Structure 1
Amino acid sequence: MIQFVVLINRQGKVRLTKWYSPYAQKERTKIVRELSGLVLSRGPKLCNFVDWRGLKIVYRRYASLYFCMCIDQDDNELEVLEIVHHFVEILDRYFGSVCELDLIFNFHKAYYILDEILIAGELQESSKKTVARLIAAQDSLVEAAKEQESSISNIIAQATK
């Protein structure tokens, strides 16, 4: 099971976190600080798996972001690397060559994509087409809600004149 997902940049700033196990806020802050120091200090030629506190950290660097997932000791590291790559491919497909700024300004969409792929720390959807279809459906619902909101605002503005 995946315990948590953390995306950090090369300076150690957190861009996305998702916790699947209960941790207090103080503990989360401590974990992120410890994890960023651990991952950022490793050389590029070293293995992408690190034993940490009786768990394993699986990470991969894409451009300026490190995608880190913490898993149980007996989980398959290569499968988790594939999940990380799957997540990045879907982000790339949605944003068109995803970058750090896409995650900063559209964090809610990145969380939605992650929630479509992982539920309770387990892989739920492995099909990129299915995830893309679900995201497109959600985007169309958001657009419809925005249009409805603007039409209601126009009606109210005209009624108050």
Structure 2
Amino acid sequence: MIKLFLMPLLMVNKQGQTQLPKYCEHVDINKHTLLETEVIKTCLSRSSERDFKLLYRQYAALFIVVGVNDTENEMAVYEFIHNFVEVLDAYFSQVSELDMFNLDKVHIILDKMLLNGCIVETNRTRILAPLLILDKTSES
């Protein structure tokens, strides 16, 4: 089990605009913007003067950033990021910044995959099942 630290997930476009912040630990609302700005600057400049590591992958114009402590398995976190993108791709057909208008559904996916900063589900079928049921009921 992987325990993600401070800010488990942040999606950012190339212009540095936050598309999706997901916090598992409490962070004061006033500090959100400051923390996200620092994280974006750190990723874009690739400097590391933090007490946590920033792991990120770029998919087209979208950066997915995960903050972890020094004891985490980096490869497992990179696999989590890739699995998250595959789940988004399966649901939205093609992951891009333009698909992020359905942030409520992205949060449902993240909530199904993460619980208190721990990865609890990686099976795409089980992750998407609640959304598919929700879509069917909304069509009826």
| TM-score normalised by length of structure 1 | 0.78
Which residue in the other structure is 2:29 paired with?
25
Q: Deviations over 1:52-81 (max 9, x none)?
A: 521111111001010001112111111011
Q: Does residue 65 of structure 1 match 2:62?
A: yes
* Counterparts in 2 of 1:120 and 1:142: CA distance versus 1, 3 Å: farther
Sequence identity (%): 32
Q: Does residue 130 of structure 1 match 2:126?
A: yes
Which residue in the other structure is 2:88 paired with?
91
Q: In 2, Cα distance between the equivalents of 1:141 and 1:70?
A: 36
Unaligned runs of 5+ in 1: 43-49, 145-161
- Please point out which of 15, 38, 44 is paired with 1:40: 44
SS of the counterpart of 1:70?
A: strand
Q: In 2, Cα distance between the equivalents of 1:110 and 1:60?
A: 17
Return the structure number with greater relative CO, CA threshold 8 A, min gap 6.
2
Instruction: Report if aligned partners of 1:10, 1:40 keep a CA contact under 8 Å in 2.
Output: no
Q: In 2, Cα distance between the equivalents of 1:119 and 1:138?
A: 21
Residue identity matched to 2:128: A
Unaligned runs of 5+ in 2: none
Residue identity matched to 1:122: C
Q: In 2, Cα distance between the equivalents of 1:18 and 1:92?
A: 19
Instruction: Report if aligned partners of 2:42, 2:48 keep a CA contact under 8 Å in 1.
Output: no
Which residue in the other structure is 1:16 paired with?
20
User: Deviation of residue 12 (structure 1)?
Assistant: 0.4
* Counterparts in 2 of 1:38 and 1:75: CA distance versus 1, 3 Å: same
SS of the counterpart of 1:20?
A: coil
Q: Which segments of structure 1 move beyond 4 Å, counting only runs of 4 or more?
A: none
User: Deviation of residue 140 (structure 1)?
Assistant: 2.3
Instruction: Report if aligned partners of 2:13, 2:62 keep a CA contact under 8 Å in 1.
Output: yes
* Counterparts in 2 of 1:124 and 1:141: CA distance versus 1, 3 Å: farther
User: Deviation of residue 96 (structure 1)?
Assistant: 0.5
SS of the counterpart of 2:80?
A: helix
Q: In 1, Cα distance between the equivalents of 2:30 and 2:76?
A: 30
User: Deviation of residue 97 (structure 1)?
Assistant: 1.1
Which residue in the other structure is 2:103 paired with?
107
Q: In 2, Cα distance between the equivalents of 1:134 and 1:76?
A: 29
Residue identity matched to 1:28: H
